[in-house]
Each structure stands twice: as C-alpha cells, then as structure tokens.
Amino acid sequence: MELPMDKASPRSTPLSLPAGAAPAVAHQTPASLPLGPPAAASTKPLVASANPPLLPVMAPAAAPKSSSGAVEESKDAVEESNKSNVLTIGSIRSALIKQEDTIIFGLLERSQFCYNPDTYDPNASRIVGFNGSQIEFMVQQTEKMHAMMGRYKSPDEHPFFPENLLEAVVPSVEYENVLHPAAANININKRIWDVYFDDLLPRLVMEGSDGNCGSSACWDMLILQALSKRIHYGKFVAEAKFQGSPDTYTPAIINKDSDKLMDLLTFTKVEEDVRARVMSKVMTFGQVVSPEADPAIETKLKIEPELAVELYDKWIMPLTKEVQVQYLLKRLD
C-alpha cells in the first residue's frame, strides 16, 4: 500500500531461503483490517451457547504428551475436559493460528519500507493542532473512528489510546461475554507499543528514509492491532483453561501465586509447534516469486524467518502468558 503522500518505491532486497526448503503451509489472505470479530463470529462472538462463538469450535490440537508430574496431568485434563465445552482450548488455538497469518503478512509488508524516522518524531509531524508523531496521530484518529463503529465494545478488541475514544454511533451489539468482568480492565497495549517500536521495528526494516512515512505508519498500525488482538486472546485461553480444570488453578489463584499459574498454563510442546509453524509460514508467504528465479537454486525471502520466530518466542507468547496470569489472578474476584 502506498499513500498519495508517499514518494519512493518500496525496497526490494530479499533475503535468501535455503535451496530445497519446502513450503509447508498453504497461502491464506490476511484479514485486511481486523475490525470486529473474525469471519465466523457474525455479531455475537464469544458466546458460551450453542451458537458458534468467535472461536471456531474444532477438535482440540494434539495434547502435549506429558511423561510425569501432577502439573502435566492437570494440563492433559484441561485439554480433555475442554473437548465438551464451546470455549475449547483447541478452538482458541485455531484462532491464534489464523492470527499468525495477519501478523506475518503485516511484517512482510512493513519490511518493504525503510525505518522512516520522521514517522515517529513528534517534531517532524507538523500536524496542525496535534502534538505528537504521525504514528500517534494515525492510531489515535483511527481508533476514534473505529470506536464510533463499536469496535472496542467487543471483548477481543483493545485500544492503544483508550482515553481518546469517541462514543459509538452504531447500534450496540450484545456480546455474551464468556470472560470474567475483570477482563475489561486488562490492557497491556502500552507494553506492546514499546516492544514493537523499541525492539522489533528497528530489526525488521532498513535504516534511513525512503519518503514512505504514511505507508510505514499504516502497516505499523495494522501490525500493532494484530499483535494486540493476539496477545489479549490470552484472556480467552486462560478462561478455557480455568473452565477445563478449575480445581487445578483455584489454589494458585487464591494464593495469588503468579509463578505457579505461569507454570500451570505453560505448554512447552505447543510453544515449539508455534515456533515451527511461524518459521514455516515466513518461508512460504515471504518468498519473492519471480519468473526468472530457479527454485532449485535459491528462493528469496522478504524477511528473516528467525526474526518472526524470535518475535513470538520473546514477546508474543510471553505477553500472551502475562495476560493469562493477570486474568487468572482476578478470575475468582
């Protein structure tokens, strides 16, 4: 996407994929603008009823095979018990898998452009009547408009600038929220914002300016929204785990034992699968396809797969777990 105010062409400096590395995942088109619940949701996401909620109801993902220990047994119990619930851990994991595509496509798109520091410099924005950077302006104004369309009434949506929202102008949708009411106060978007701009973005793009500040801000915003949605899905993951095995989680919740909760909700094998799948998706979606290229020799990649894997490993999964802990600590209030 190039905006009218943007100037230069996007860069094309692909990275290489080892010869013979086989694409493992079918291409899927990312959601354009993650406004409101995903396709399956219709107007009533997240309902604990016979109607399918936002989270498509599917067979749970393969359970991690635990060899020993009460903690591992209780994790198996969560997954077994969840098979009979609408809010299943398997259906939530399926939603997380789809969201990977949106995040990865966003990274691929943003990587076309240079860093473009003016996008983030409040002194460079020169927007009349606004004291802030271009990215702040874009996210704040977009959120205002999306709030008018009711976006942040949905329990799976979280604004970055909650203090600036406008009232909804569309008829309100009744969400049969499966979450504990305390979920409404959990919003870690400030952390997500900092991680994205401090740690991820400088490593994703080339230094310097290419004039495409508007496009850079657009993709930044889409990635931020996708990251926020994915990470705050931790609330639903935690609820499904709690519903699947309340006796397992209750003592740690009562004792406010965050470390124990973190231990209980961590599934090492699932995390390994996430890493492997993200690697595979970047190697598939990120290929530069050109008629001249000989696939037997090398395939070009738009971003380093390891960077996306690291994003998941260091930030997305830990922050999703952090949301889960915050939610569970309040689950019995």
Ligand X SMILES: O=C(O)C(=O)C[C@]1(C(=O)O)C=C[C@@H](O)C=C1
Q: Is position 139 an interface residue for ligand X (rule: CB under 6 A)?
A: no
Sheet of 287-288: strands edge to edge? 15-17, 299-301, 287-288
Query: What amino acid occupies position 194?
Result: D
Residues in the chain, overall count = 333
Q: Is position 94 an interface residue for ligand X (rule: CB under 6 A)?
A: no
Closest CA to 99 of 37, 160, 155, 144: 37
Count of residues in contact with ligand X, rule CB under 6 A: 13
Q: Is position 266 an interface residue for ligand X (rule: CB under 6 A)?
A: yes
Residues 295-324 binding ligand X (CB under 6 A) are 317, 320-321
* Interface pick for ligand X out of 87, 183, 200, 237 (rule CB under 6 A): 237
Helices (H), the chain: 70-82, 89-110, 122-125, 134-148, 189-194, 201-204, 213-232, 234-244, 246-254, 258-265, 268-285, 305-310, 317-330
Q: Which lies closer to ligand X via its Cβ, residue 88 or residue 177?
A: 88
* Interface pick for ligand X out of 2, 271, 304, 310 (rule CB under 6 A): 271
Q: Which lies closer to ligand X via its Cβ, residue 96 or residue 222?
A: 96
* Interface pick for ligand X out of 87, 93, 119, 133 (rule CB under 6 A): 93
- Angstrom distance (rounded) from CA 153 to CA 168: 9
Q: Which lies closer to ligand X via its Cβ, residue 98 or residue 153?
A: 98
Instruction: Give the distance from CA 294 to its chain's centroid.
Output: 34
Q: Is position 141 an interface residue for ligand X (rule: CB under 6 A)?
A: no
Closest CA to 229 of 2, 15, 41: 41
Q: Which lies closer to ligand X via its Cβ, residue 99 or residue 134?
A: 99
CB of 261 to ligand X, least distance (A): 11
Report which residue's Cβ sits closest to ligand X: 320
Contacting positions for ligand X (CB under 6 A): 89, 93, 96, 237, 265-267, 270-271, 274, 317, 320-321
